[in-house]
Amino acid sequence: MRLIQLNRVAWVLLAGFLSGLLTGCSKEPIELESAEMVENLDKGSGNFDRVLKICFNHPLHDEYYHKVVILTNESFKVEGEGMLRPLASDPDSKCQLKNVYLYINKNSPPGAREMIKDYVVRGNVRQVLIQVYDSKPEGKVRPISERVFENL
């Protein structure tokens, strides 16, 4: 009889531990607040003349994965994705600066860098879709935060 009681206690403790693992390890909820094209960060190198500033409701304390689709007034589309990490240099900042050239990938059209330079400029971006995930999505996963920004 005593052995059965111990097994029940062990199962209750194990179930509590496992549910704590599943719920306790989730990341802090994050909401997108704003996005804008930033100019004048480049100091002549040509590598930071197209930057997307993404702001959240609070500074990031965990790593997140994001996808971005930028559509210009000429219907040129830039799609990319990558990690969003807490900023070691400015942990209180609610905003992340993302170099638009880093969104160039194997699916980008030929000459994507030149097209970004010509068309992805402040005042010429019709829409930006940003989706934020807990981690890199596998299959059809809903983002934890998603927003479309217009007329940047």
Digit-coded pLDDT (tens) for 114-149: 999 999 999 999 999 999 999 999 989 999 999 999
Give 148's DSSP letter: E
Give domain status of residue 35, yes or no. yes
pLDDT exceeds 50 at position 61 = yes
Here the tokens at position 104 are 């160039």
Neighbours of 119 (CB within 10 A): 19
Give domain status of residue 131, yes or no. yes
The confidence score (pLDDT) of residue 73 equals: 96
Dihedral pair phi/psi, residue 134, rounded to 5°: -60, -40
How far is Cα 10 from Cα 39, in angstroms, rounded to an integer? Answer: 60
The confidence score (pLDDT) of residue 3 equals: 44
The confidence score (pLDDT) of residue 6 equals: 44
Range of the domain at 144: 27-150
pLDDT exceeds 60 at position 27 = yes
Dump pLDDT digits (tens) for 97-119.
999 999 999 988 899 999 999 99
pTM (2 d.p.): 0.79
Q: Residue 88 maps to which CATH number?
A: 2.60.40
**Number of domains present in the structure of the chain:** 1
The confidence score (pLDDT) of residue 41 equals: 78
The confidence score (pLDDT) of residue 12 equals: 43
